Amino acid sequence: MGTTQIVREFNLANNKVLSRWVKQYKEFGKIFETRGKATKFNTPNKGRPRKYFEKPLEELSKEELLKRVRMLEDIKKSLVYLTSQKPNKNTK
């Protein structure tokens, strides 16, 4: 059976789908469906790159740790304030 017949019979999108499956089967012995399943573990550079790189907490100085803690406290206070506000009638 030719590839065109297989694509028609199994209602595949195109010949590339079938050739990808054949290639995966020959290489790994099974077929992997990877669309929409990217994670940081299998694609570590996925997504928008960071503008800065965070140092691990162990490497931060006391001043940097205090700055980070104060920032997190400010975020928590803002969140408490925003959740306590009544919703605006004009927004959905």
User: Quick check: is 20 in a domain?
Assistant: yes
Structurally, how many domains does the chain consist of? 2
Instruction: Write the single-letter amino acid at 66.
Output: L
User: Quick check: is 39 in a domain?
Assistant: no
User: Quick check: is 49 in a domain?
Assistant: no
d(CA 14, CA 3) in angstroms, rounded, equals 9
User: Quick check: is 13 in a domain?
Assistant: yes
User: Quick check: is 47 in a domain?
Assistant: no
pTM of the entire structure?
0.38
Give the pLDDT of the chain (92 residues) as one tens digit per residue: 788 898 888 888 888 888 888 888 898 888 777 666 666 666 667 677 767 777 888 888 999 999 999 999 999 999 999 888 877 777 65
Helices (H), 1-92: 3-9, 15-28, 62-84
Give the structural domain span for 79: 55-85
User: Quick check: is 1 in a domain?
Assistant: yes
